Amino acid sequence: MSAGDIRISHPAVARVYSPRVILVHRAREGSIAFDVFCPEDCPVDPCDGFGYGLPDCPWARRMAERGYVYRCSEDLAHLPEVNAEVVRHINWLVREHGFAVEFAEEGWE
């Protein structure tokens, strides 16, 4: 856990709230999409040369209602070598910078 994380404990569930989150969901065309959220004062720019902006998408709006700050999005609707770069970048954010990963509840049937 990083300094900004808050542990939420419940008898049935224990999870961590992190202001740095990658939301994984299905994009409209069916590919897997990643939305990156972190505060403006985040110690790393998670979107430096990565992704595209789509702040009005329903997922970004829902997360904003929960207090998250939208930064960028990316998906796996590219050529395999580009998709591999996307996955490497997501792994870098998770492993090197402590981003949490959250799966959207919808679209994973």
Q: What is the pLDDT of residue 104?
A: 86
Which three-class secondary structure state does DSSP give residue 3? coil
DSSP code per residue over 42-78: -SS-TTTT--B--TTSHHHHHHHHTT--EEEEEES-S
Q: Do 31 and 25 meet the contact criterion of CB atoms below 8 Å apart?
A: no
Q: Over its length of 109 residues, how does the chain's per-residue pLDDT go in tens digits?
A: 444 444 444 444 444 567 899 999 988 788 899 999 998 888 889 998 899 998 888 888 999 998 899 999 999 999 999 999 999 999 999 999 999 999 887 654 4
CA neighbours within 13 Å on the CB side: how many for 60? 19
pTM listed for this prediction: 0.78
Query: Residue 87: which of 78, 21, 20 has the closest Cα?
Result: 78
Q: Do 23 and 35 meet the contact criterion of CB atoms below 8 Å apart?
A: yes
Per DSSP, 9 falls in state E
